[in-house]
């Protein structure tokens, strides 16, 4: 947030599985004097963090309340099933929900896929978190369906995953409070949308501004000519135009007939 009494800064919240590293790097290159702070939040708490001004913007999982937040969809993830490395699913390139009919499939309380009816057989009790469900899969108790980024986040050597072709998908978006679109939010929007520094909606970097300011007066001054009727401090050469030049030299002598 920016303010008159504090140095400007930008706080970006992000949910598990979201990867802001590339955009943070570009921010640091373009706006080195404005620190960007990353705020990790559980997916279910991202909206509350934005409402309470705990962050200026957030990488969230859709859907979000569009009456309160503005949002720019960024990408949609592949859904995968996490299985032990010795599971039959590892013999194929992709899996269908029907293939999981005989397996216990965990549906953690922090699930982000929004199932109407999860595949497989339900567990006796829902795990509290995705991390808890991963531990149960590693113990050989059942399987877990998640966005691919969460499978990578909770990677274990004894587990692997395969794409699940007929499952809901999770989309990641940049969201911010609709009534709080600050200049810094606009700067970050420009970065995620791939705008260049010289874009009409992007603000120039601190290094670029003095460079342009330096070029404008120098270029104008180097080409400016003296106004008509003003002397330059140099004496006119003989024979050049004007009444003074007509009195001296051969060109000023009268002709004899």
5-57 pLDDT, tens digit per residue, is 567 899 999 999 999 999 999 999 999 999 999 999 999 999 999 999 999 99
Mean pLDDT of the chain: 83
Burial of 168 (0-12, 13-18, 19+ CB in 10 A): middle
Mean pLDDT (whole number) for 113-117: 90
Based on the fold, state whether residues 175 and 113 are members of the same structural domain: no
Q: pLDDT tens digit string along 154-189?
A: 999 999 999 999 999 999 999 999 999 999 999 999
Based on the fold, state whether residues 136 and 155 are members of the same structural domain: yes
What residues pair up with 212 in beta bridges, in sequence order? none
Based on the fold, state whether residues 28 and 89 are members of the same structural domain: no
pTM: 0.74
Cβ atoms of residues 146 and 118 within 8 Å: no
What is the rounded CA–CA span in Å between residue 252 and residue 211? Answer: 54
Strand ordering across the sheet containing 171-177: 36-40, 10-14, 57-61, 171-177, 69-76
Which of these, 157, 202, 166, lies nearest to 30 by C-alpha position?
A: 202
**Quick one: how far is CA 232 from the chain centroid?**
56
Domain count, the chain: 2
Based on the fold, state whether residues 66 and 89 are members of the same structural domain: no
**Is residue 59 one of the residues assigned to a domain?**
yes
Length of the chain: 257
What is the rounded CA–CA span in Å between residue 39 and residue 45? Answer: 12
What is the rounded CA–CA span in Å between residue 156 and residue 134? Answer: 9
**Is residue 253 one of the residues assigned to a domain?**
no
Q: pLDDT tens digit string along 192-202?
A: 999 887 764 54
Based on the fold, state whether residues 28 and 63 are members of the same structural domain: yes
Based on the fold, state whether residues 144 and 94 are members of the same structural domain: yes
Based on the fold, state whether residues 18 and 129 are members of the same structural domain: no
Based on the fold, state whether residues 176 and 72 are members of the same structural domain: yes
**Is residue 242 one of the residues assigned to a domain?**
no
Q: Residue 116's domain is classified under what CATH number?
A: 3.40.190.10
Alpha helices in the chain (DSSP H): 21-30, 46-51, 130-138, 148-153, 183-192, 208-223
pLDDT of residue 44: 94
Based on the fold, state whether residues 92 and 157 are members of the same structural domain: yes
Residue 95 clears pLDDT 60, i.e. is over it: yes
What is the rounded CA–CA span in Å between residue 50 and residue 60? Answer: 10
For residue 163, give the 3-state DSSP assignment. Answer: strand
**Is residue 39 one of the residues assigned to a domain?**
yes
Based on the fold, state whether residues 143 and 192 are members of the same structural domain: no
**Is residue 176 one of the residues assigned to a domain?**
yes
pLDDT-based confidence at 246, cuts 50/70/90? very low
Residue 66 clears pLDDT 70, i.e. is over it: yes
Is the torsion defined by CA of 28, 50, 172, 71 positive or negative? negative
pLDDT of residue 197: 77
Query: 144 lies in which domain range?
Result: 79-163
Virtual CA dihedral for 134, 17, 43, 94, nearest 10 degrees?
Answer: -60
Enter the tokens of residue 90. 């590892």
Based on the fold, state whether residues 187 and 68 are members of the same structural domain: yes
Based on the fold, state whether residues 139 and 175 are members of the same structural domain: no
Q: pLDDT tens digit string along 206-241?
A: 444 444 444 444 444 444 455 554 444 454 454 444
End-to-end CA distance of the chain: 93
């Amino acid at each position: 947030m920016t303010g008159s009494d504090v140095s400007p800064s930008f706080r970006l919240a992000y949910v598990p599985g979201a990867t802001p590293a590339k955009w943070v790097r570009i921010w640091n290159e373009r706006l080195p004097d404005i620190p960007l702070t990353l705020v990790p939040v559980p997916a279910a708490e991202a909206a509350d963090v934005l409402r309470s001004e705990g962050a200026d913007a957030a990488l969230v999982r859709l859907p979000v309340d569009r009456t309160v937040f503005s949002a720019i969809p960024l990408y949609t993830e592949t859904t995968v099933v996490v299985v032990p490395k010795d599971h039959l699913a590892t013999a194929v390139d992709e899996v269908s929900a029907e293939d999981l009919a005989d397996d216990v499939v965990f549906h953690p309380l922090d699930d982000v896929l929004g199932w109407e009816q999860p595949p497989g057989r339900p567990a006796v009790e829902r795990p509290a978190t995705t991390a808890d469900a991963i531990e149960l899969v590693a113990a050989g108790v059942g399987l877990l369906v998640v966005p691919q980024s969460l499978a990578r986040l909770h990677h274990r050597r004894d587990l692997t995953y395969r794409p699940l072709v007929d499952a809901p998908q999770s989309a990641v978006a940049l969201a911010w409070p609709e009534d709080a679109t600050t200049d810094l939010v606009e700067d970050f929007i420009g970065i995620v949308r791939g705008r260049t520094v010289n874009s009409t909606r992007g603000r120039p970097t601190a290094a670029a501004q003095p460079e342009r300011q330096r070029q404008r007066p120098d270029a104008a001054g180097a080409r400016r000519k003296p106004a008509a009727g003003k002397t330059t401090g140099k004496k006119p050469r003989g024979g050049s135009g004007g009444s003074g030049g007509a009195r001296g030299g051969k060109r000023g002598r009268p002709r004899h007939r």
